[in-house]
Structure 1
């Protein structure tokens, strides 16, 4: 998927682009009855609008004494038509608004559903701010096109066709004279549309980039403040907004030129038509009432031409937006939310068999090489090694974040490639080193492990995680808001909520990414107790950074440059004083005993 800023010069008004945009109209299918009623109201409102010039002409005939109707009769018909026009217009707007809002909501939900069900590599290749921009601004760009723009297009075309037919009926000479201005108007509309397309896409791209800056700076606000880079982030954002302003002003200038040209051309044309039509009246080829009706109908046609220019620009924007949305909708999903799999409870027996792996973005860099390990159900193992040795990658492959290249991973003797991803992950829970909570309440964050859990289940999970003691100290208890990403809670409190969430899920396989590496001794003791409770009777995989915390696991696997170089218990591995594990322990012991020498 490409970045919007790289697409600015890509041509949009093409057969392929139009076909892509037309796909969007399938979203109108559930509301076709309402849409058809709206179109009927549109037809009636258009016809009543076209009657206005005719009725004005008829009133003029009455004043000239050339009509078979009285002024009161014509005025009564005029009132009925005007009232009908108001009624038809009201229902046209309402029906199209209902269809537009519902169809747009369907698109937003479908795009979000697609994004949230795609695989981890998709998020690695796309910035969050760009995805948010597509979900908001791109959907907004096509909202009116689905209903209002298409309806207005037919309205303007009908006004042009029926209006021109009436004008030819009144006076073919005057109509041909008026049409002489058409080529200039059409050419101006095309030029205007081209500039609008290019500049509008540039504005949209800069806004997307600005959204990315906001998203990244807000999500990393602690880092921003720690490095006192508020001014840097402000300058980044204000610089992009400044570009948006410049481009928007430039766009406004082109619009101003076009509007000025159109006004001059319109009134200039009207003056010419009055001049030419006046001569026809003086020569007896046309009566005054027909000239009045002709002029009013010409104004309606001119308005339709102006409307077509706006519609053309709107279609240009929607084509680009629809292509970007379909790029997302065509991404493969790893989760099918419409097909609820049978959630089987696994025992938790894990086997890695000759697994080799490189990340999709770095195919030439092997991360894992011939990994072979077994974890009997209920056992606890630890993965240790230097940063980049492949510990986290083993866990990511077990959770099917990435497809396997070589080898196989088995769960209870069955290849995970044959297990539905939802079924597999429903048997796993992870407590990461850096806990990211959702911005709701403590209750919502714990309940995330088991949506719909009872009050008793949530409190029991919090108790087992040693979290209830601090939760009950808050005035609002479980309803306490944790703030964006849990910013209102300490590191130890966030860890215990994450553990409570995992306890509530009751997984067969537990994954721990050293949960106590950056905590004070009191918080570490509480969390170690909670983890001990959590690991009871379940398969546990611990990514260990502090080796003192894994002395009592059943087996330790030592990784180095993507390979398992040692395995065994803590005592067995320490017995080889020259081994990698023994050296790692010695290194950490030296840091603890002589911290100044290591700084």
Structure 2
């Protein structure tokens, strides 16, 4: 119940006075319901249908007053009060229903915003350890279940308040009979623990199935081209069929469990009412008025008790997603690298002299002895082009991540003009960087919106200038709607080269002082690659360019080349200088690439 109480405290913080007002409203409804039941006794008595002795009731003075006035008048008074009480009860109920919906949906939105913000403010290392589909599942299914669990908890509170009021009224009328019924109900509630434990276990399994389901279908559609081209439809259908069958079995088991608990409670209700009437007459010698009134109360009360039991079972099924959301929020807070206040009024940093890495060590898992980067000492001059090369797994992308502040070194420092990179200047650095990844990412919207997302103030002229720079203007003009063409999920309606050129245009549109290219020309043909190289050459001296390259022909004009191998810098210098070093890593990489001859570098 700790996780439920945690969310209830959050709900209390969010709703404030509204929540307390609702609790008071629930109290009023319960009292009005009791008064409505109370009015049934004089109504039956005055009508003459049954002659009830009301002298034994604690409120007999009310009935004495009604007996002294004419029957028609007393009946009118009773019916009038009964009518007013029920109208008031339904008006308050309507207000509370709207208020509860406002609190629940508003709180659900608040939970979503808080969790989404915490995720966005978490550091890069947090995301390296998480599966994307698990995060999506948390933001969708788990948060919805957390909201539903909180709402169920409110229903539980409502049921408890109603039960306390009704039991208090019954106790006021006949303490002995009420105590007997409460003891019977307490004994019955002990058997409900079995159902609650089973519900919690089922909820945990359903949560796991939900995660597996979302992960599987996401992987399927992300890799649909491979599925179609490799004829994997049947194997995916087998997986899907097995998983959905297990989900079906779990849902049926939960339905059977819930129906079994409801069956036992309804049977117990019938048995207890029969025992209650028997003991009330034979042992407690209850008067007709008392017996009638208490029977009505407990007949109305028992469905509430059954509802409380049902709420407890539902809360048990929500226990795992509730706990998961809490854990996710706590992990995000522990991994938080920025706050909302830090984002305001961030000015991009302008590197005057250099970026520098001094004695940098980094590893993704501190329990392992192997470092991804080992004793890196590197200077990146301002407004020059630095290329980083090396075999796969050498640590090139890891080095870029450190330079962009996505990861922090375990040892050593990243310096910007001699100032260590920290949380104080991290956002300023990122505001000055445009990053073009090897796998270009585009949103499922128009080309215009994909460009404006990084620079909302840009004009039409700015957009076309950026497209011209990246050699994308020609193909964009040929599209049916030009800039307003919808390009599909991740830009699937475009070729790989077209996607990469659009991402490069978006990077340039930001007018960065640092341009980071991670294999940004790998999907381009020779003609367009040459155009990009010419554009990059025009940028030399105007901004700091950092390039990761496998095609070494693209970095001939780099001011310095850094060669990495197994997390260490093994060579450093100009392109031609490194090419002349025989039997070196760089010379070996050059000789392996088709169409690249070491001797050509002299021309």
TM-score by length of 1: 0.89
Answer with 81-90 or 455-464: which moved more: 455-464
Indicate how the Cα distance of structure 1 residues 105 and 298 shifts in structure 2: closer, same or farther if over 3 A, else same: same
Q: Could you say which residue in structure 2 is the equivalent of 1:445?
A: 450
- Equivalent in 102, 122, 130 of residue 118 of structure 1: 122
Q: Could you say which residue in structure 1 is the equivalent of 2:105?
A: 101
Q: Could you say which residue in structure 2 is the equivalent of 1:34?
A: 18
Q: Could you say which residue in structure 2 is the equivalent of 1:5?
A: none
| CA deviation vs aligned residue, 1:162-186 (integer Å, no higher than 9, x gap) | 3223323333443344345223421
| 1:21–1:323 contact (8 Å) kept in structure 2 | no
Q: Could you say which residue in structure 2 is the equivalent of 1:8?
A: none
Q: Could you say which residue in structure 2 is the equivalent of 1:162?
A: 165
For residue 383 of structure 1, report the CA deviation from its aligned partner. Answer: 1.2
Q: Could you say which residue in structure 2 is the equivalent of 1:233?
A: 236
| CA deviation vs aligned residue, 1:376-429 (integer Å, no higher than 9, x gap) | 211112111111112111111111221112222222222223653211111111
Indicate how the Cα distance of structure 1 residues 182 and 27 shifts in structure 2: closer, same or farther if over 3 A, else same: closer
1:506 aligns with 2:511: yes
Indicate how the Cα distance of structure 1 residues 301 and 213 shifts in structure 2: closer, same or farther if over 3 A, else same: same
SS in 1 for 2:478: coil
| CA deviation vs aligned residue, 1:180-215 (integer Å, no higher than 9, x gap) | 522342123222111111111211221121111122
Q: Could you say which residue in structure 2 is the equivalent of 1:296?
A: 296
1:253 aligns with 2:256: yes
| 2:384–2:540 contact (8 Å) kept in structure 1 | no
Indicate how the Cα distance of structure 1 residues 429 and 79 shifts in structure 2: closer, same or farther if over 3 A, else same: same
| 1:380–1:554 contact (8 Å) kept in structure 2 | yes
Q: Could you say which residue in structure 2 is the equivalent of 1:138?
A: 142
TM-score by length of 2: 0.88
1:364 aligns with 2:369: yes
| 2:360–2:374 contact (8 Å) kept in structure 1 | yes
Unaligned runs of 5+ in 2: 53-62, 68-73, 599-603
Q: Could you say which residue in structure 2 is the equivalent of 1:186?
A: 189
Q: Could you say which residue in structure 1 is the equivalent of 2:70?
A: none
Q: Could you say which residue in structure 2 is the equivalent of 1:81?
A: 85
Unaligned runs of 5+ in 1: 1-12, 594-599
Q: Could you say which residue in structure 2 is the equivalent of 1:478?
A: 483
Indicate how the Cα distance of structure 1 residues 392 and 159 shifts in structure 2: closer, same or farther if over 3 A, else same: closer
- Cα distance in 1, alignment partners of residues 7 and 222 from structure 2: 35
- Cα distance in 1, alignment partners of residues 18 and 153 from structure 2: 15
Q: Could you say which residue in structure 1 is the equivalent of 2:60?
A: none
- Cα distance in 2, alignment partners of residues 484 and 346 from structure 1: 35
SS in 2 for 1:440: coil
1:429 aligns with 2:434: yes
Q: Could you say which residue in structure 2 is the equivalent of 1:153?
A: 156
Indicate how the Cα distance of structure 1 residues 367 and 177 shifts in structure 2: closer, same or farther if over 3 A, else same: closer
Aligned length: 573
| 1:496–1:530 contact (8 Å) kept in structure 2 | no
- Cα distance in 2, alignment partners of residues 592 and 495 from structure 1: 27
| 2:516–2:547 contact (8 Å) kept in structure 1 | yes
| CA deviation vs aligned residue, 1:88-116 (integer Å, no higher than 9, x gap) | 11001111111111122111111111112
For residue 293 of structure 1, report the CA deviation from its aligned partner. Answer: 1.9
Q: Could you say which residue in structure 2 is the equivalent of 1:354?
A: 359
SS in 2 for 1:41: helix
1:48 aligns with 2:53: no
Q: Could you say which residue in structure 2 is the equivalent of 1:312?
A: 312
After superposition, the CA RMSD in angstroms is: 2.6
For residue 238 of structure 1, report the CA deviation from its aligned partner. Answer: 3.1
- Cα distance in 2, alignment partners of residues 51 and 151 from structure 1: 24
Indicate how the Cα distance of structure 1 residues 144 and 40 shifts in structure 2: closer, same or farther if over 3 A, else same: farther
Q: Could you say which residue in structure 2 is the equivalent of 1:517?
A: 522
